[in-house]
Amino acid sequence: MGLLSDPNRRKALTTLLTRLNTPICVVCYLAGIAWFMGLAFEPFTLRTYMSENAMGSTMVEERFPAGERALATGREFAGHKRKAGGMPVDWLVKTMQDRGLEVFTQSFSRTLPFPDENKERYMVRGINVYGILRAPRAPRTEALVLSAPCSPDNSNNQAVGLLLGLAQYFRNQIYWAKDIIFLVNEHDLIGMQAWLEGYHHTNISGMDYTPLQGRAGSIQAALSLELSSDVITSLDLILEGLNGQLPNLDLANLFHAFCQKIGVMCTIQGKLQRSDWDTAEGYTHAVQTMMLMVLKQASGRPWGDHGLFLRYHIEAATVRGVNSFRQYKTDTTTVGRLLEGMFRKLNNLLERLHQSYFFYLMPSLSRFVSIGYYMPAFGLLATILLLRALDLWVQLGTPTEVTEDGVGEVEPVSINNQGSFDSPLTHIYIDLYSKRHSTFQMLFISGEGTEQGWRVLKLVALLYLAVLLGCTALINFSLGFILAITLVPVAACVTPHLPKAVSALAMVLLSPGCTILYCVFIFQELQEAPVSLSEGWMLFLSVISQGILDHSLFGSLVYPLLALLVYPCWLLLWNILFWK
Amino acid sequence: MGLGQTLCACLKGLNVIALRKACAVLMVVLVQILRSHWSLRRLSLGGGAEDVEKPNDVTGPVSSSEPGQSESAAVSSGGPVAAPVSEADEPAEAAAGGAVSPPDQCDEELVLRPLRSGDIYASFQFRTQWDTDFLHHGKKVSHYRLFPKSLGQVLSKFSVRELHISFTQGYWRTMQWGQPFIPSPPGAELWVWFHNTVEDVDGNWKELVNVLSGIFCASLNFIDSTNTVQPSASFKPLGLGNVTDHRFLRYATLPREIVCTENLTPWKKLLPCGSKAGLAVLLKSEKLFHSSFHSQAVHIRPVCKDWQCTSTAWELRQTLNVVFDIYTSGQGKKEWSLFKMFSRTLTEACPLASSSKVYVDVTDNPEGELFDLSPVTPLLSTAVVLGDRRTYSVYDLTKKETFGQLRSLNLVLRWKGESGDMLRPLLHAERYVAGFGLQTGEIHTLIYNNHPYRAFPVLLLDSVPWYLRLYIHTLTVTSKTRENKPSYIHYQPSKDRLRPHLLEMLVQLPPHSVTEVTVQFERALLKWTEYTPDPNHGFYVGSSVISALVPSVVAMDTNSTQERPLFSSFFPTKEESSYFVRVYTEPLLVNLPTPDFSMPYNVICLTCTVVAVGYGSFYNLLTRTFQVEEPSQSLAKRLANVIRRIRGVPLL
CB atoms within 10 A of CB A107: 16
In a domain, B647, yes or no: no
Q: Would you say residue B34 has pLDDT above 80?
A: no
Q: What is the pLDDT of residues B75-121, one digit of tens each?
A: 333 333 333 333 333 333 434 344 455 688 899 999 999 888 888 99
> Residue A514 and residue A509: Cα distance in Å, rounded?
6
> Do residue B175 and residue B239 come from a single domain?
yes
| CB-based contact B628 A355, cutoff 8 Å | no
Boundary-marking domain end, from B590, B615, B639 = B590
* Chain A environment of B186 (Cβ under 8 Å): 139-140
Q: Average pLDDT for residues B629-641, to the nearest whole number? A: 80
SS3 A260: helix
A371 and A360 Cβ atoms separated by less than 8 Å: yes
pLDDT for B55 = 37
Residue B606 counted as domain residue: no
| pLDDT value at residue B571 | 55
Task: Give the gap in angstroms from C-alpha B505 to the nearest C-alpha of chain A.
Answer: 23
Question: In terms of residue numbers, what domain contains B453?
Answer: 427-590
Residue B68 to residue A206: CA distance in whole angstroms: 57
- Coil vs helix vs strand at A70: helix
Contacts of B321 (CB under 8 A, 6+ apart): B121, B122, B123, B124, B180, B181, B182, B184, B293, B294, B295, B296
User: What is the Cα–Cα distance from B350 to B274, expressed in whole angstroms?
Assistant: 9
Residues B455 and B561 both lie in one domain: yes
CA distance A318 to A247: 11
In 3D, which of A303, A294, A302 has the Cα closest to residue A481? A294
Instruction: Give the mean model confidence (pLDDT) for residues A184-195.
Output: 92
Q: Minimal Cα–Cα distance from A99 to chain B, Å?
A: 9
3-state secondary structure A368-431: EEEHHHHHHHHHHHHHHHHHHHHHHHHHHHCCCHHHHCCCCCCCCCCHHHHCCCCCHHHHHHHH
| Same domain? B170 vs B273 | yes
Dihedral-angle region of residue A292 (phi above 0 means left; psi in -120 to 50 means alpha; beta otherwise):
alpha
CA distance B171 to chain A (A): 5
Mean of pLDDT values over B244-251: 89
Q: Is residue B554 part of a domain?
A: yes
Alpha-carbon gap, residue B286 to B343, rounded angstroms:
9
Torsion of CA A492, A496, A502, A507, to 10 degrees: 50
Mean pLDDT of A165-191: 93
Rounded to a whole number of angstroms, the distance from the CA of B634 to the nearest CA of chain A is 22
Contact residues on chain A for B442, CB-CB shorter than 8 A: 201
Q: Chain A: which residues have CB within 8 Å of chain B? A: 1, 4-5, 100, 102, 134, 136-142, 171-174, 200-202, 215, 217-218, 311-313, 350-352, 354-355, 413-416, 422, 426, 429-430
Do B398 and B435 fall into the same domain? no
**B432 and B567 in one domain?**
yes
Half-sphere exposure of B397 (CA within 13 A, CB side): 27
Contact A139 B325 (CB under 8 A): no
Q: Residues B433, B300: one domain?
A: no
Q: Does one domain contain both B132 and B229? A: yes
> pLDDT per residue over B271-281, tens digit each?
998 888 889 99
Q: Above 70 in pLDDT, residue A162? A: yes
> What's the pLDDT band for A57 if we cut at 50, 70, 90?
low
Chain B closest CA to A344's CA: distance in Å? Answer: 16
Confidence of residue A236 (pLDDT cuts 50, 70, 90): very high
Distances (CA, A) of A266 to A66, A367, B346: 22, 14, 56
Angstroms from A358 CA to nearest CA on chain B: 12
B588–A139 C-beta distance less than 8 A? no
Cα–Cα distance, A560 to B112 (Å, whole number): 63
Q: Are B172 and B183 in contact (CB under 8 A)?
A: yes
As a whole number, the mean pLDDT across chain A is 87
Same domain, B178 and B319: yes
Q: Chain centroid to CA B192: how far? A: 13
Give the whole-angstrom CA distance, residue B306 versus residue A475: 74
> In terms of CA atoms, which chain A residue is nearest residue B187?
A139
Whether B507 has a pLDDT exceeding 90, the answer reads yes
Strand partners, B488: B506
Contacts of A171 in chain B (CB under 8 A): 327-328
- Which of chain A's residues have a Cβ under 8 Å away from the Cβ of B289? 137
Within a domain: B311: yes
Contact B293 A202 (CB under 8 A): no
Q: What proportion of chain B, given as a percentage, has pLDDT over 70?
A: 77
Please report which residue ranges of A300-331 form alpha helices under DSSP H: none
Q: Is residue B642 part of a domain?
A: no
Number of Cβ pairs < 8 A linking chain A and chain B: 112
- Mean pLDDT for A322-334 is 89
The answer to whether residue B234 sits within a structural domain is yes
**ipTM of this complex:** 0.86
Q: Cβ B433–A218 below 8 Å, yes or no?
A: yes
Query: What is the CB neighbour count within 10 angstroms for residue B650?
Result: 8
Average pLDDT in the A471-484 region? Answer: 94
Q: What is the CATH number of the domain that holds B452?
A: 2.60.40.1170
Q: How many CB atoms lie within 10 A of CB A23?
A: 9
Instruction: Indicate the pLDDT class of residue B600, thresholds 50, 70 and 90.
Output: low
Q: Chain A closest CA to B614's CA: distance in Å?
A: 10
Q: How far apart are CA B239 and CA B249, in angstroms?
A: 14
Question: Which chain B residue is nearest to residue A2, measuring alpha carbons?
Answer: B617
**Subunit contact B538:A312, Cβ cutoff 8 A:** no
Bigger pLDDT: B579 vs B419:
B579
Mutation target among A8, A52, A141 for the B interface, most CBs of B within 10 A: A141
Q: Hey, which of A59-63, A517-521, B153-157 has the most confident mean pLDDT?
A: A517-521
Same domain? B249 vs B352: no
Q: Do A352 and B536 touch (CB under 8 A)?
A: yes
* pLDDT for residue B601 is more than 90: no
Contact A122, A111 (CB under 8 A): yes
Q: How far apart are CA B122 and CA A138, in angstroms?
A: 18
Tens of pLDDT along B316-351? 999 999 999 888 776 667 888 899 899 989 988 999
Closest by CA to A75, choosing from A164, A171, A148, A167, is A164
What confidence tier does A3 reach under pLDDT thresholds 50, 70, 90? low
As a whole number, mean pLDDT of residues B424-449 equals 92
Put simply, the answer to whether A350 touches B534 (Cβ < 8 Å) is yes
| Residues 6+ positions from A132 with CB-CB distance below 8 Å | A101, A102, A103, A104, A143, A179, A180, A181, A182, A214, A216
Total of domains in chain B: 3
| Residue in chain A nearest B331 by alpha carbon | A172
Last residue of a domain, one of B423, B449, B475: B423
Q: Distance between CA B11 and CA B2 in Å, rounded?
A: 14
- Shared domain for B401 and B353, answered yes or no, is yes
Collect all residues of chain B within an 8 Å Cβ-Cβ radius of residue A173.
328
Optimal mutation site among B324, B326, B328, interface A, most CBs of chain A within 10 A: B328
Split at pLDDT 50, 70, 90, the class of A399 is low
**Is the pLDDT assigned to residue A38 strictly greater than 60?**
yes
Q: Yes or no: say if B384 and B88 are a contact pair by the CB < 8 Å rule.
A: yes
| pLDDT score, position A81 | 92
CB count within 10 Å of CB B5 equals 10
Angle, helix A567-577 to helix A451-475, in steps of 10 degrees: 160
Which pLDDT score, from 0 to 100, does residue A435 have?
Answer: 43
Pure H helices in A40-187 = 53-56, 67-84, 89-98, 157-171
Say yes or no to pLDDT of B543 above 60: yes
* Sheet with B488-492: strands ordered across: B488-492, B501-509, B456-464, B545-551, B578-584
pLDDT-derived band at A146 (thresholds 50, 70, 90) equals very high
Among all residues of chain B, which has the CA nearest to that of A51? B598
What residues contact A126, with CB distance under 8 A and at least 6 apart? A86, A87, A107, A108, A109, A186, A187, A190, A191, A194
Nearest to B170 among A4, A136, A355 (CB): A136
B250 and B192: one domain?
yes
Given B542, B561, B590, the domain boundary residue is B590
- A59 Cα to chain B: minimum distance (Å): 21
Residue A405: is its pLDDT beyond 50? no
Which of B442, B589, B626 shows the shortest C-beta gap to A415?
B626
Q: Is residue B555 part of a domain?
A: yes
Residue B55 lies in a domain: no
Question: Does the beta-carbon distance from A422 to B621 stay under 8 Å?
Answer: yes
pLDDT of residue B75: 36
Mutate which: A103, A134, A137, vs B, most B CBs within 10 A? A137
Instruction: Tell me: do B362 and B491 sit in the same domain.
Output: no
Residue of B nearest to A428 (CA): B622
- Using an 8 Å Cβ cutoff, are A166 and A184 in contact? no
Given an 8 Å threshold on Cβ–Cβ distance, is B629 in contact with A415? yes
Triad B312, B314, B319: Cα angle to 5°? 140
Sequence-ordered list of residues with C-beta below 8 angstroms from that of B289, at least 6 positions apart, any chain: A137, B169, B260, B261
The pLDDT score that the predictor gives to residue A382 is 94
